[in-house]
Chains A and B, each alone.
Chain A
Amino acid sequence: MMKKQSHITGFYLETLMLIVVFVLIILVLTQVFGLAQMQNTRAKQLNGAVILAQNAAEAAAASETPEELLKLLNENGNAVPMTEPAGVTARYDRDLNPDAEGNYRVDVTWLPEETENGILVHGVAEVRCEETEAPVYRLETERFRTGVSA
């Protein structure tokens, strides 16, 4: 009788140990999966931000006025003008489609510098995601136009 009792207690102890070790392993692996998910999200955000910043920088370089920049970026009412400094704020959804309520915010500034024979336009595109304080990506561009004044 005593032997049987000890056998059952041993079984329960072993099962308990097994479950505790298994739960610990699962906990550690959950952390690893969580970390991987975080890195994946960051990579996706950065890729999206780079594409949006390039589009915005090219639009800024191609525009002769801030109004033209607004026309180029505005689709379905996703862009609004900025006053100080001159530029445009545009929004895009997760799939980078224009969306006034989208979670990507692109601030593009358009600053002309008059020179002797034309203007040098400085464009800065800053992309933020989920209203973060620091931009996910920042891109600066410049375009010189001869025979044009600001």
Chain B
Amino acid sequence: MKQVPIKLGPLALLLTVISICVTTLAILTFTTARADLRLAEKYAQTVQTRYALERQGQEFLRDLSETDPGDYGLMDWERDAAGIYWTEFEQDGASLRIGFRPDREAGFTVVSWRQEKSWVEDDSIGDLWDGGMMP
């Protein structure tokens, strides 16, 4: 009787391929989840910064309401040609710029309230060819 040899090769190959596929999927899942969490934490931090600046601005308005408009010139606020005073608060790369002018009835009027985040474009392309002539 002819004996059929039992070979383990195909089974081992199949399990290896399955293992590699599942490992790749696991790594992709993990890195995506970690990136999602980092993005969520960054967003949460950005919101904290925005509200911290907002608080500083509101506290400034409180102090401003207690300042006599005649004393505005004594403070270290910028004053433009239109007679508007400007002040700025900064935190974690973000800033809040407030513009206001004295008001006889209300004491002051806020004319500008702008939050900005400084951003510098990264225009470096490393050692990539920039399209110029080769030496």
A144 touches B65 (CB 8 A): yes
Residues of A within 8 A of B48 (CB): 139
B59 touches A116 (CB 8 A): no
Shortest Cβ distance from A49 into chain B, in angstroms? 8
Count of residues in A whose CB is under 8 Å from the partner chain = 42
In the complex the two chains form, what is the Cα distance from A53 to B50 in whole Å?
13
Residues of A within 8 A of B55 (CB): 140-142
The 5 A-B residue pairs whose C-beta atoms are closest, nearest first, are: A36-B33, A117-B65, A39-B33, A43-B37, A43-B40
Binding site for B on A (CB under 8 A): 4, 7-8, 11, 14-15, 18, 22, 25-26, 29, 32-33, 35-37, 39-40, 42-44, 46-47, 49-50, 53-54, 57, 115-118, 120, 137, 139-144, 146-147
In the complex the two chains form, what is the Cα distance from A107 to B85 in whole Å?
38
Indicate whether B41 reaches chain A with its CB closer than 8 angstroms: yes
Interface of chain B residues 7 through 30 with chain A (CB within 8 A): 8, 11-12, 15, 18-19, 22-23, 26-27, 29-30
In the complex the two chains form, what is the Cα distance from A42 to B44 in whole Å?
12
